[in-house]
């Protein structure tokens, strides 16, 4: 029965009805018609598409080679549409010699293991038929060492015929005997400024280069790499020697990357997730967010976007700026630069609150560089409102936020709720899990609450403003902890992944070294017709979001309740305002709701889970079931 239901997505397309019981409350088909003014005088509505991140290699295999492919994704578009997804982000699909695909060999070709360009186009057309936008990874900071640009550059600055090599300055090459010093990039920059002020120019100044100061791994690692094909030179590769950094000081390189983007937009892609956005003019830890680097980044992204939208006005650009300090993110969205950045700060705060079942916070227990708050509360909503005001003003209110739980570079959210991690690593998202003497993962004391915590986290994620992103498998609680191969395992379609003869069931992909995606309850087949499952909860909340305009496209404002076990906030468009209240705890809570001076009173339950028979609103008294969410109007 379950397998039959799963296969009907492929054979018959989108199911016409929801899989769980009827909603116990009805949605408002029309906006309330009330007019009001936001506290800050601005209501910043944002498109609220629900995006789904897909690692094609691991999602679904259509031809039996165990490698996910475009046809496999196309087969499951009805599944995504039924879940409520309105956009997908494809991790790298361009030609590459690695499993992850982030070392691009040819920007104009698809990865042949995923299919042909015709297969890609068919998948794209099917997504659009179901109303699903598609953005793809555009790897802008670096390429592969066997990319033709780098291969040509390795011929040296001057070609055999005596002409200048046009690809030489696509990368940053420095003679091996150059003056490499144990100074930071910023110290060198400041020394150059002082010398120029004293001498009127840099003539006579011996150029220095920082030996250490890696932008991604800390100051104890070097970014300088060597190639046997070009002795006598070093080049920058901040991630590895197989991924040389592109040099965006080259105008020719800038034009080439714009042409790459236009090629895929012409194919019908709806936009790009821009990988390693912050690194293109910041190769070193000490200068990555300095003013002169920020200006270069902002200038390039403004130019890039302007050039793209002149021909493709609806192209969507979201940048990966892995950063907690929002001030450092502003240049990437200012004055017509990118549409969005991923909200890493919000993701960390949601995890912290849900994990502890409270917004209470002790900043003294955390290293200052990694503090999420300066006082005894996470201040999730108030800080988010401030963030929106800052980014709204910087972008002329064109910014679209991108909340998420975890992604392909981080330990999966379900695992964070289940296991203990190395306490010496400040960021739990990339920390190693703790293991016992038998090399088994050590469970948290409250691991039995992981499913409840995952539901609460999804309730918060899917009722936040902007475009929330779901990592594939998250909707069924797929486990996965570092290294990267273990957080990018096969999509768990089946309760029992293997046939009696040991062969993998049809469609299973990337299962060779599977440690966590082993089927069982954490599978689509096991959850798809269970009304109390995590999958059903995701689906129910996504559909609520899509049917309530204030949840889908609205702004956010504060609504303060005197409890750190509750997160509450107002979502509003020009015509509708709703109050979202989430119980972080396993207790039934009762709360008096006061009239808000700007938004009035909330007197009707607009949404609560079909599995929630406890929550209710009597006049101004709200009863909240454990780990529940209600939306009031």
Q: Tell me the pLDDT tens digit for each residue of 370-384.
A: 899 999 999 999 999
pLDDT band at 189 (very low <50, low <70, confident <90, very high): very high
pLDDT band at 26 (very low <50, low <70, confident <90, very high): very low
| Tokens, residue 442 | 């050590």
Mean predicted confidence (pLDDT) in 470-490: 97
CB 143 within 8 A of CB 243: yes
Strand partners, 557: 570
| Pick from 347, 470, 544, 395: nearest CA to 46 | 395
> 330-360: b or e for each residue (b if 16 or more CB lie within 10 Å)?
bbbbbebbbbbbbbbbbbbbbbbbbbbbbbe
| Tokens, residue 135 | 């953005």
Give the span between the Cα atoms of 471 and 270, in whole angstroms: 19
Give the span between the Cα atoms of 334 and 341, in whole angstroms: 11
Q: Which helix (H) or strand (E) holds 161?
A: none
| Tokens, residue 392 | 């709204």
DSSP symbols for 77-116: HHHHHHHT--EEEE---EEESSSS--SEEEEEEE-GGG--
pLDDT for residue 40: 65
pLDDT at 256 over 80: yes
Residue 118 per-residue DSSP state? H
Give the span between the Cα atoms of 135 and 51, in whole angstroms: 9
Give the span between the Cα atoms of 101 and 99, in whole angstroms: 6
Residues 214-223 have pLDDT tens digits of 877 777 889 9
Mean predicted confidence (pLDDT) in 329-347: 94
Give the span between the Cα atoms of 133 and 119, in whole angstroms: 17
Residue 361 CB neighbours (<10 A): 22
CB 354 within 8 A of CB 446: no
In Å, how far from its chain's centre is CA 401?
11
Residues 269-292 have pLDDT tens digits of 999 999 999 999 988 988 988 999
Give the span between the Cα atoms of 288 and 281, in whole angstroms: 7
Q: In what order do the strands lie in the sheet with 173-175?
A: 173-175, 233-236, 224-226
pLDDT for residue 25: 44
User: At 368, is the secondary structure helix, strand, or coil?
Assistant: helix
- Least confident stretch, 18-32, 427-441, 446-460: 18-32
Residues 107-120 have pLDDT tens digits of 999 999 999 999 99
pLDDT for residue 251: 97
pLDDT at 539 over 50: yes
pLDDT at 37 over 80: no
pLDDT at 18 over 90: no
pLDDT for residue 6: 56
Cis-peptide, bond into residue 483, ω within 30° of zero = yes
Cα distances (angstroms) measured from residue 175 to each of 113, 155, 236, 247, 312 = 38, 14, 12, 16, 41
User: At 63, is the secondary structure helix, strand, or coil?
Assistant: coil
pLDDT for residue 425: 86
- For the chain, the straight-line distance linking the first and the last C-alpha, in angstroms and rounded, comes to 39
| Tokens, residue 248 | 């965006």
Mean predicted confidence (pLDDT) in 61-78: 97
CB 275 within 8 A of CB 318: no
Mean predicted confidence (pLDDT) in 566-593: 97
Kindly compute the dihedral angle of the four CA atoms of residues 228, 229, 232, 238, in this order, to the nearest 10 degrees.
Answer: -70
| Tokens, residue 592 | 């008096």
- What percentage of the chain exceeds 70 in pLDDT? 94
pLDDT band at 14 (very low <50, low <70, confident <90, very high): very low
CB 165 within 8 A of CB 158: yes
CB 388 within 8 A of CB 401: yes
Strand partners, 623: 590, 616
Is beta strand 51-54 parallel, antiparallel or unpaired with respect to 87-90? parallel
DSSP symbols for 497-553: -B-TTSPBPTT--S-TT-SS---TTSSHHHHTT-TTSHHHHHHHHHHHHHHSHHHHH
pLDDT for residue 7: 60
What's the mean pLDDT when you consider all of the chain?
A: 92
pLDDT for residue 17: 35
pLDDT for residue 32: 42
pLDDT at 368 over 90: no
Cα distances (angstroms) measured from residue 559 to each of 31, 175, 314, 361, 435 = 20, 60, 34, 19, 42
SS (H, E, C) 423-455: CCCCCHHHCCECECCCCCECECCCHHHHHHHHH
Total length of the chain: 633
Mean predicted confidence (pLDDT) in 350-356: 98
pLDDT for residue 220: 81
Give the span between the Cα atoms of 142 and 246, in whole angstroms: 5
Q: What is the pTM of this model?
A: 0.94
Give the span between the Cα atoms of 448 and 543, in whole angstroms: 28
Pick the more confident residue, 8 or 363. 363
Give the span between the Cα atoms of 244 and 170, in whole angstroms: 10
Mean predicted confidence (pLDDT) in 606-627: 97
pLDDT band at 426 (very low <50, low <70, confident <90, very high): confident
Mean predicted confidence (pLDDT) in 304-321: 97
Give the span between the Cα atoms of 73 and 12, in whole angstroms: 15
pLDDT at 29 over 60: no
pLDDT for residue 346: 96
DSSP symbols for 479-491: ---SSGGGSS---
Is beta strand 316-319 parallel, antiparallel or unpaired with respect to 340-341? parallel
Give the span between the Cα atoms of 441 and 423, in whole angstroms: 14
Q: Which helix (H) or strand (E) holds 304?
A: helix 291-311
The residues, any chain, with a CB within 8 Å of residue 595's CB and separated by 6 or more, are 601
């Amino acid at each position: 029965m379950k397998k039959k239901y799963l296969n009907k997505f492929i054979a018959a397309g989108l199911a016409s009805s929801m899989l769980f019981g009827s909603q116990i409350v009805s949605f408002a088909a029309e906006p309330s018609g009330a007019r009001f003014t936001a506290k800050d005088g601005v209501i910043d509505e944002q498109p609220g598409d629900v995006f789904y991140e897909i690692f094609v290699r691991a999602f679904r295999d259509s031809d039996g080679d165990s490698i996910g492919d475009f046809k496999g994704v196309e087969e499951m578009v009805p599944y995504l549409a039924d879940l409520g997804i309105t956009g997908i982000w494809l991790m790298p699909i361009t030609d590459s010699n690695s499993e992850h695909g982030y070392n691009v060999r040819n920007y104009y070709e698809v990865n042949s293991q995923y299919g042909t360009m015709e297969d890609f186009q068919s998948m794209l057309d099917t997504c659009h038929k179901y109303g699903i936008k598609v953005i793809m990874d555009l790897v802008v900071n670096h390429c592969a060492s066997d990319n033709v640009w780098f291969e040509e550059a390795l011929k040296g600055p001057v070609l055999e015929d005596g002409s200048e090599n046009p690809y030489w300055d696509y990368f940053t090459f420095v003679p091996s005997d150059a003056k490499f010093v144990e100074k930071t990039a910023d110290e060198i920059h400041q020394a150059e400024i002082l010398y120029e002020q004293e001498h009127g120019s840099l003539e006579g100044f011996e150029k220095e280069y920082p030996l250490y100061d890696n932008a991604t791994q800390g100051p104890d690692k070097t970014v300088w790499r060597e190639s046997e094909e070009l002795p006598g030179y070093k080049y920058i590769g901040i991630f590895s020697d197989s991924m040389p950094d592109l040099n965006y000081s080259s105008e020719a390189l800038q034009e080439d990357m714009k042409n790459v983007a236009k090629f895929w937009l012409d194919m019908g892609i709806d936009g790009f997730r821009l990988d390693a956005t912050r690194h293109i003019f910041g190769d070193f830890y000490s200068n990555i967010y300095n003013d002169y680097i920020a200006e270069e980044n902002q200038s390039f992204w403004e130019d890039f976007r302007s050039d793209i939208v002149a021909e493709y006005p609806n192209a969507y650009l979201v940048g990966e700026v892995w950063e907690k300090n929002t001030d450092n993110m502003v240049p990437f969205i200012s004055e017509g630069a990118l549409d969005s950045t991923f909200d890493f700060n919000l993701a960390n705060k949601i995890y912290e609150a849900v994990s502890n079942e409270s917004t209470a916070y002790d900043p003294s227990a955390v290293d200052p560089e990694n503090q999420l708050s300066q006082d005894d509360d996470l201040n999730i909503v108030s800080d988010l409102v401030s963030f929106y005001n800052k980014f709204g003003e910087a972008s002329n209110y064109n910014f679209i936020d991108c909340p998420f739980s975890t992604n392909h570079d981080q330990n999966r959210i379900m695992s964070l709720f289940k296991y203990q991690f190395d306490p010496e690593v400040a960021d739990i998202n990339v920390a190693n899990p703790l293991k016992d003497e038998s090399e088994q993962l050590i469970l948290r004391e409250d691991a039995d609450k992981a499913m409840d915590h995952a539901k609460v986290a999804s309730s918060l994620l899917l009722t936040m403003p902007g475009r929330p992103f779901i990592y594939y498998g998250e909707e069924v609680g797929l486990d996965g902890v570092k290294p990267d191969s273990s957080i990018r395992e096969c999509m768990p379609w089946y309760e029992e992944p293997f046939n009696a003869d040991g062969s993998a069931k049809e469609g299973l992909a990337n299962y060779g070294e599977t440690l966590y995606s082993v089927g069982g309850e954490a599978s689509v087949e096991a959850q798809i017709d269970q009304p109390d499952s995590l999958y059903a909860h995701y689906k129910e909340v996504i559909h609520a979001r899509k049917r309530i305009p204030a949840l889908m496209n609205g702004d956010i404002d504060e609504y303060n309740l005197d409890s750190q076990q509750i997160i509450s906030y107002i979502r509003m468009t020009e015509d509708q305002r709703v109050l979202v209240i989430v119980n972080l705890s396993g207790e039934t809570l009762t709360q008096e709701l006061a009239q808000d001076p700007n938004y009035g009173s909330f007197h009707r339950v607009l949404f609560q889970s079909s599995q929630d028979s406890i929550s209710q609103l009597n006049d101004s008294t709200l009863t909240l079931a454990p780990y529940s969410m209600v939306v009031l109007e």
